[in-house]
């Protein structure tokens, strides 16, 4: 006997006791309704059915019958076979999206989830405990962005860092790409992509990684006077850098990374992607538009806080270090020796103070004041005129 049948028997016994007391005029209809936990009208209906048909009149005739909307067994087996053979590592929600989009299923997500649980394919999520109130979102896009990295085994046997820059107001991801290791250059790349596409924003919320902040004591307060390269660049652009002091403070971006980790590896596997170059192309052209369509939300205020930027963002979002030109008219930088070419305006730059710019793509440029006096490949070799013609960024300020 299943649970529904047991409950029905209990209800019948309880009603028979109440009915006998009603017949002896010991209870009113209102008192009987209160004891049975139903309305007075229901008590009257039950009494009429009991007097007409006895106990049979109170049985639920739906028990033992198949539901009219019951899904056919072959449809259930088809769904389970798809999960076992093609989508075994997908979450129920992600799996349901694929069933609807590619396999003609019309059943609800809740049916898919419960069916997978009933057949032992997935486990029910543990009940969530009480948690503190979420921080309100910024009302307009461009008021505050989050940037963070997530190290994960995105394809079997390969761990990459996923760098994501997203808007606090909408959860829209403006930039996402894989790198071998998160750092200053990956932060610059993400910020450059956002500013070139959207414009300048008001503030950036980030963790206390060493490429964002100098932290004198581990786990302590950041040093806002001793800026990193990222801090210096954001200050030049007028963007406030806000430190996060706990994983909970970064809850919005942490939950977003959970979504990426539960979906993106499965998508990469399904498309046969194994290299970081292929993964970045897929991420930009296929996955990111679909992700934003599913998870981005409308802002509270449709006004934008982004401001168009007409300056040279490339020469701001880069590593900048001062050097002094050597006696042989060369500049040394990170083990490289860069020869400054002859200049018709000046015989040499010996002992002159110059500034080296290192860009996210590895190129190097030497500035003397505002003048560009040399461009170099990542290995320190000079960039020729032919290289300039084939390079996207060729202009020096």
The answer to whether position 301 is within a domain reads no
Q: Locate tokens 């990542």: which residue?
A: 378
Judge if 86 and 174 occupy the same domain: no
Judge if 168 and 282 occupy the same domain: yes
pLDDT over 90 at 246, yes or no: no
Question: What is the pLDDT, as a whole number, of residue 57?
Answer: 78
In the β-sheet with 203-206, what is the strand arrangement from edge to edge?
173-179, 158-167, 144-155, 203-206, 240-243
Count how many Cα atoms sit within 13 Å of the Cα of residue 206 in the half-sphere of its side chain. 28
Judge if 286 and 157 occupy the same domain: yes
pLDDT band at 64 (very low <50, low <70, confident <90, very high): low
Percent of the residues in the chain that have a pLDDT greater than 70, as a whole number: 91
Judge if 237 and 281 occupy the same domain: yes
| Domain stops at, among 33, 58, 83 | 58
| Closest of 396, 395, 342 to residue 369, by C-alpha | 396
- 380, 338 Cβ separation under 8 angstroms: yes
pLDDT over 90 at 336, yes or no: yes
The answer to whether position 308 is within a domain reads no
Q: What is the CATH number of the domain that holds 235?
A: 3.30.420.10
Strands (E), the chain: 144-155, 158-167, 173-179, 203-206, 240-243, 319-324, 330-333, 336-339, 353-358, 364-368, 371-376
Question: What is the pLDDT, as a whole number, of residue 125?
Answer: 80
The answer to whether position 28 is within a domain reads yes
pLDDT, one tens digit per residue, over 142-174 is 999 999 999 999 999 999 999 999 999 999 999
Domain count, the chain: 4
pLDDT band at 183 (very low <50, low <70, confident <90, very high): very high
Judge if 158 and 288 occupy the same domain: yes
The answer to whether position 130 is within a domain reads no
Query: Rounded CA gap, 249 and 251, in Å?
Result: 5
Strands 371-376 and 364-368: antiparallel
Percent of the residues in the chain that have a pLDDT greater than 90, as a whole number: 66
Question: What is the pLDDT, as a whole number, of residue 349?
Answer: 92
Range of 278's domain?
A: 144-295
**Helices marked H in 24-62 — which ranges?**
29-36, 40-53
pLDDT, one tens digit per residue, over 99-108 is 999 999 999 9
Judge if 277 and 330 occupy the same domain: no
| Closest of 122, 131, 59 to residue 90, by C-alpha | 122
Q: What angle do CA 7, 11, 15 make, to 5 degrees?
A: 175
CA dihedral 31, 36, 38, 42 (to 10 degrees): -80
Judge if 163 and 291 occupy the same domain: yes
**Helices marked H in 54-86 — which ranges?**
73-85
| Reported pTM | 0.75
pLDDT over 50 at 394, yes or no: no
The answer to whether position 381 is within a domain reads yes
Q: What is the mean pLDDT of residues 255-279?
A: 95
Q: Tell me the helices (H) and strands (E) count for the chain, helix number first.
A: 12, 11
Judge if 282 and 345 occupy the same domain: no
The answer to whether position 67 is within a domain reads no
Q: How far is CA 51 from the centre of its chain?
A: 63
Judge if 46 and 82 occupy the same domain: no
State the DSSP code for 314: G
Burial pattern 173-190, b for ≥16 Cβ within 10 A else e, equals: bbbbbbbeebbbbbbbbb
Judge if 90 and 176 occupy the same domain: no
pLDDT over 70 at 181, yes or no: yes
Question: What is the pLDDT, as a whole number, of residue 71?
Answer: 82
Q: What is the mean pLDDT of residues 375-394?
A: 73
Judge if 240 and 171 occupy the same domain: yes
What is the Cα Rg of the chain in Å?
Answer: 33
Judge if 198 and 288 occupy the same domain: yes
Question: What is the pLDDT, as a whole number, of residue 35?
Answer: 86
The answer to whether position 17 is within a domain reads yes
pLDDT, one tens digit per residue, over 108-140 is 999 999 999 999 999 988 876 655 566 789 999
The answer to whether position 302 is within a domain reads no
pLDDT band at 282 (very low <50, low <70, confident <90, very high): very high
């Amino acid at each position: 006997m299943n649970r529904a049948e047991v409950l029905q028997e209990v209800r019948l016994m309880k009603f028979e006791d109440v009915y006998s007391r009603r017949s002896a005029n010991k209870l009113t209809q209102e008192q009987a309704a209160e004891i049975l936990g139903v309305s007075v009208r229901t008590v009257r209906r039950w009494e009429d059915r009991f007097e007409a048909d006895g106990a049979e009149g109170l049985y639920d005739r739906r028990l033992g019958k198949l539901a009219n909307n019951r899904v056919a067994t072959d449809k259930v087996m088809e769904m389970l076979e798809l999960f076992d053979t093609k989508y075994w590592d997908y979450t129920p929600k992600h799996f349901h999206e694929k069933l609807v989009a590619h396999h003609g299923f019309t059943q609800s997500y809740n049916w898919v989830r419960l069916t997978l649980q009933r057949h032992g394919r997935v486990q029910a999520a543990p009940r969530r405990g009480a948690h503190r109130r979420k921080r309100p979102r910024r009302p307009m896009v461009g008021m505050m962005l989050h940037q963070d990295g997530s190290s994960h085994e995105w394809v079997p046997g390969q761990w990459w860092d996923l760098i994501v820059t997203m808007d606090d107001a909408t959860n829209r991801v403006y930039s996402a790409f894989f790198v071998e290791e998160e750092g200053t250059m990956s932060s610059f790349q993400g910020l450059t992509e956002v500013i070139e596409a959207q414009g300048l924003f008001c503030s950036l919320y980030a963790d206390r990684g060493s490429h964002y902040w100098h932290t004198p004591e581990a786990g302590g307060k950041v040093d806002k006077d001793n800026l990193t390269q990222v801090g210096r660049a954001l200050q030049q652009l007028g963007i406030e850098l806000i430190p996060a002091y706990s994983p909970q403070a970064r809850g919005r971006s942490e939950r977003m990374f959970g979504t990426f980790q539960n979906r993106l590896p499965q998508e990469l596997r399904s498309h046969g992607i194994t290299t970081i170059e292929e993964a970045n192309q897929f991420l930009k052209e296929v996955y990111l538009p679909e992700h934003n369509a599913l998870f981005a939300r409308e802002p509270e205020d449709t006004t934008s806080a982004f401001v168009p930027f007409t300056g040279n963002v490339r020469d701001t979002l880069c590593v900048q270090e001062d050097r002094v030109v050597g006696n042989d008219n060369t500049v040394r930088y990170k083990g490289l020796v860069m020869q400054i070419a002859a200049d018709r305006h000046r015989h040499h730059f010996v002992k002159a103070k110059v500034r080296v710019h290192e860009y996210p793509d590895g190129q190097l440029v030497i500035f003397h004041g505002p003048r560009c006096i040399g461009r170099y490949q990542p290995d320190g070799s000079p960039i020729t005129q032919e290289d300039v013609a084939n390079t996207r960024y060729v202009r020096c300020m």
